[in-house]
Structures are given as structure tokens and as C-alpha cells.
Structure 1
Amino acid sequence: MHFPLHLLIPLGSAMGYVLAVLLVKRSADYGVGIFRTTFVSNIAMGVCFAPLWLLGGPGQPWSLIWQPLAAGALFFVGQFFTFIAQTKGDVSVATPMMGVKVLMVALASTLLLTDSIPLKWWFAAALSTLGVALLGRASGASGAQKHQRVLMTMLCAAAASTAFATADVLIQKWGRAWGGGRFLPIMFGGVALASFALIPFFREPLRAVPRDAWRWLIPGTILMALQAAGLGLTMAIWGDATAANIVYSSRGLWSVIAVWLVGHWFSNREQHLGAGILRWRLAGATAMLAAIVLVMT
């Protein structure tokens, strides 16, 4: 099987995503909150994508500016639900759960790009569903708390995946006509500007964020922006959103391994849930990875 070298970019993005999430989740321990975290992250996105304007591109009439802005609106929604899932839930549940994004990309590609879905992708969907079931079984809490926490994590991750998947397909659909150096800066500039609407919902102003929190939040949000840039450029330049997301979905496996091995570096408490629970989560992540491989081969 030939592996296109440009897919190493989303592979690196997948690993960068896991580190970014651990950093952001650590900052949440200082009470930063969902709205301020989303605001800072989205501003970082706008800043990091702005230099891509220098890459140029054919562009499109300004009457079509709604195209990158629509993709940006979907990304904004996905980002918000991501931070709910990752900061209020468990990283080793949320990140593998977001692996279903690749199947949603395939479905959205069929609806928006008139691509057909091969039979093996439906088998991949079944494997992915099994992975979700295993993740739902793997919880360290008890009773209602267990079900509420895991269900909340999985629902938010699914909502984020749906929004991100649709945005990715729109990048593939419209991005090449605009050029990566036009579509992406406008898209993420819109995300950054829309984030100012979150300010009235801040529990406290940004200046009230503890200094120790910034040590985790700033590198986490910058890394989140850089990994998104890698994935976005891959789709805008080479156009294969499905293949890029197949590789990118390996982040589910990396997240379980990272929490297990180095989670304590970030004061992540999931490591203390016990080896049995993390094994279930690893099994769920592996099932999702098997679905990814099935789609890719």
C-alpha cells in the first residue's frame, strides 16, 4: 500500500493535538472556564493562520466570502464542544470518541461532494460503534455520576466531530478554488472575530486568570492552532479530507497511551482510574483504529 508522504502532516497533527489537550486540560484546574479557554484558543487560531495569507492563492469574488465564514462557523461550534468534552470529561474517552469524525467526513463527502461510500466503510462504522461502546463501559465513577460524565463526554465529542467533519469537507469543496493562503486565513479570522461574542459569558475577565494557568493555556492553545493548521493545509492543498482524517484519527490511540504513560506530568487524574479501566479504553481506541485502517486499505 502506497502511503502519500503528505499524510505525515496530519499524523504529526494528531500527536500535537493530544499534547495540546493535556496542556489545556491542566489549565482548566485553575478555573479558566470553557468560555475563556475557547476565546483564547480561537484568537490563537486567528493569529497562527494569518501568516498563511503570504502563500497567496487565486481567491474568489468577495460575494463568495460566506464560504470560508460558513466553514469557520462550523469550526467555532466544534471547538466549543471539544473544550467541554476535554475539560469537563475524560481525555481518554473524548479523544478516541472523536475518531468517529473520519466516518462523518466520509458521509458528509457523499452528501456534499457526491462521493460514494464503499461497503467496507460500513464495516468500519460497525467497528467504530463497538469502540464507542467500549469507551462507554470504561468509567471509573459509579452510579449516576458514571453515566452522566461518560454520556456528557461522548455527546459533546460527537457534536464536535460532526461540526468539524462538515467544516473539513467544505474546506475540500471550496478551499482549492480559493487557495489555502486565502480560504484558511479568512476562515480562522472569522473564528477569532466571532469569539468576541463570548466575552459577556466570561465568569471573570481574562486578567483574572491565574498566572500559573497561562503557563499551560498559552502553549496548549498555540499547539492546538498549529496542529489545526497542519490538517487544514493538507486538505486545502491536496484535497483528500477523508484520507487526512483517517490518519488524524489516530489521536484516539495516542490519547489513551499518553494518559497512561505521562498523564501525571500534567496532573491528569485519569491515570489513577486503574489499569482495568484504561485497558477498556485502549480496547475502544484500538477498535476505532482498526476501523481507520479498514477504510484506508
Structure 2
Amino acid sequence: MRCARYSPRAATVSASGQGQAVRCSSPSNFPLCTKVTLAFHRAVDQVLPKLLPLLAALLYVVGALLAKRASEFGVGIWRTAFIANLIAAAIFALLLPLGGTFHPPLLWQPALVAVFFLLGQFLNFLALQHGDVSVATPVMGLKIILVAVFTTLLLTSGVSLKLWVAAGLSSVAIALLNRTDGTPRHHVGRTILYAGSSATMFAIFDVLVQKWSPAWGLGRFLPVMLGFTALFSFVFVPFFHAPLREISRAAWPWLLGGCGFIGLQSVVFVSTIAQFGAATTANVIYSSRGLWSVLAVWIVGHWFANREQHLGATVLRWRLAGAVLMMAAIALVLA
């Protein structure tokens, strides 16, 4: 018997040699190869929405450390954001072969979403430039609770109690990850303001992507949206303190690496939301970047000439407690 492609609405299996189509009413009627294919697709649909946000979290931490290092060469926030958005647009263009449908009358949707992405990205770079990675990245985790709120307000589907509890645990974990031993940290208040504002922009962005992208398709909405982002980024040019050609040669590897990793993690994370939905679940897992950023600063921070790795035992205890809560929140989502 020859297997037909499985459709969750109605599976049709052709009986070879008979030229006859048999409509299967339940998975028990499927041939073995169709059952295996169905089981594989179900496994993929269960694993990828949880694995990809974790991958994006790790990619973000690498990008943040590289971008922080680039900022110490005097690249400046305007030039950094401009280059990052152009690179992100180029990376998102790789999704075009996945197909979809253009909706010219609805171009305002990706254009509006692009504004939130642009603002979120810019505020994120401001936080990284003016503060510590181990402060800015955990504070960005506030996006979890904001996504839960905006999902309830902007989408017809609500958020389950389990996800609300996970979001709450993650928010407490963020507070613990951000505890200090009283040692002054430069621009902490400003860093928290920028990172929190960035989290708000990205939370609205995530929910709108989940709301509008299905009608366009993965290969249309996101590339068009990032195309608008790249176009809007040219408003940054008048604010450059020097032309791009004057960026030092030593800064370029750090700058391109940071922008590349941040752009790549954006593709991974946003594509996950566009394809599978469940923005709150994805953000709870993605929030683990706060933990990974702390560990990265301690373990490999010296590779990036990062000064944050010299933290006291008190900070370690608070952040270990935060890590436990963060993992508990993620485990709750995965359960």
C-alpha cells in the first residue's frame, strides 16, 4: 500500500493497483508508514516550539557579549542599530522560499510591527551600551509577563493558569538574578529603564506577529516586516557621529559578529512564534537567556574583555536562587 501525505483534517490513502481512494476516519486506519510520518510530525510540533526558543536564548547571549565589546570601540548606538537591522533584514529574507501570500491592502500590518521591532532593537542596544550585560539581559525577561498580558488583551485566546504561574516565577527569578552585593554598578537605573522599555516593545511585537502572520505565511510576513525595518533604519543616518567607513578595523569583527548573532536569534525566535504561536510559552523558555548571560559573563567574560565576571559570593547566592526559579518556570511550561 502506498502512503499519501497526511492532512489533519482529512487523510486520504490510495490503494495501489485498485485506483481507489479510501478516506481514513481515524489514525488506526492509516498504513504503518503514514502512522510513522504522523508520529514524527507530532513529535516535531511538540519539540521545536520549546527547543528553538532555547537556541535563540543562547544565540542572543553570544550576540550581546559581542555587541557590548563592539560598543567599547566607540561604534555608537545609531551605527550599531543601523547595521544590525540591515543584517537582520538580510537574514529574514532567507525565509522567502517558505512561501505565503502577499496582501498589499494589509501592508500596514508588517509596517506597524516593524516599528515595534525597530524601537525594541534600538532600546536593547542602548541598554547594552550604557549598562552591564548581566543586568540588561535579565531585565529584558520582563517581556514574559508583558506577553501574557498583551496576549489576553489583543488575542481572542487567553493564557492558561500554568503559563501565568510560570510567568510569575520567571519575573521573580529576574529580580533575584539582578540582585547585587551593594557594589555600585554604572548606570543601573538607566539600564533597567532602557531594557524594560525594550521588553515592552518586543512583547507587543511578539503578540502582533502571532496575530497577523498566519494570514501571510511564514515566508511573507517576516521578510516584509524586516524589509520595512531596514527601510525605517535610514532615519538613523543623520545621527551618526561619524560615517560607517570610520569605524575602526578592530571593531568590525565584534560588531558584525554581535549583529549577526542577534539577527540570527531573532529569526529563530520570531519564526517559532509565527509558525507555532504560543508566544507566552516561547518567551518563558527564551527568558533563560538571563541565566545564560550571567553564566557566560562569569565563565567566558574575559574572552570579550568583559569586566562583570568579578562578582561576590552574595551575588552568586541570589543568582543561583534566581536560576532555580527560572528553571522551575521552564519545567512548568515543558510539563
Normalising by structure 2, we get a TM-score of: 0.81
For the residue of structure 2 that corresponds to 1:190, the secondary structure is helix
Gaps of 5+ in 1: none
- Once the two structures are TM-superposed, the CA of residue 269 in structure 1 deviates from its matched residue by 0.4
Residue in structure 1 matched with residue 240 of structure 2 by the alignment? 202
1:140-289 correspondence to structure 2 within 5 Å: 141-142=183-184, 146=185, 149-289=187-327
Residue 266 of structure 1 deviates from its aligned partner by 0.5
Residue identity matched to 2:315: I
Label 1:159 to 1:246 Cα distance change in 2 as closer, same or farther (>3 A).
Answer: same
Report the RMSD for the aligned CA atoms in angstroms.
2.1
CA contact (8 A) 1:93 1:281 kept: no
Q: Which has the higher contact order (CA 8 A, sep 6+)?
A: 1
What's the CA shift for 1:111? 0.6
Residue 112 of structure 1 pairs with residue 150 of structure 2: no
Q: How many angstroms apart in 1 are the aligned matches of 2:277 and 2:168? A: 26
What is the one-letter code of the residue matched to 1:42?
N
Shift of 1:292: 4.0
Gaps of 5+ in 2: 1-42
Distance 1:275 1:189, change over 3 A: farther
Identity percentage over the alignment? 52
Change (3 A) 1:49 1:160: same
The verdict on how the C-alpha distance between 1:295 and 1:27 changes in structure 2, with shifts beyond 3 A counting, is same
Is residue 44 from structure 1 mapped to residue 82 from structure 2 by the alignment? no
Aligned-residue offset at 1:291: 3.5
1:102 to 139, 144, 157: 144
Q: Is 1:21 paired with 2:64?
A: yes
Aligned position for 2:52? 9
Partner amino acid, structure 2, of 1:112: L
**1:102–1:126 distance in 2 versus 1, CA, 3 Å:** closer
SS of equivalent to 1:271: coil
CA-CA distance at 1:100 after TM superposition: 2.0
Cα deviations by residue, 1:233-291 (Å, 9 ceiling, x for unpaired): 11112222222222211111111111111011000100023343344344335434434
Structure having the higher helix fraction is 1
Moved more, 241-250 or 103-112: 241-250
Q: Does the CA-based 8 Å contact 1:99-1:249 persist in structure 2?
A: yes
Work out which of the residue numbers 156, 172, 175 in structure 2 matches 1:133: 175
Equivalent residues of 1:136, 1:150 under 8 A apart: no
Kept in 2: contact 1:13–1:231 (CA 8 A): yes
Q: How many residues align?
A: 291
SS in 2 for 1:87: helix
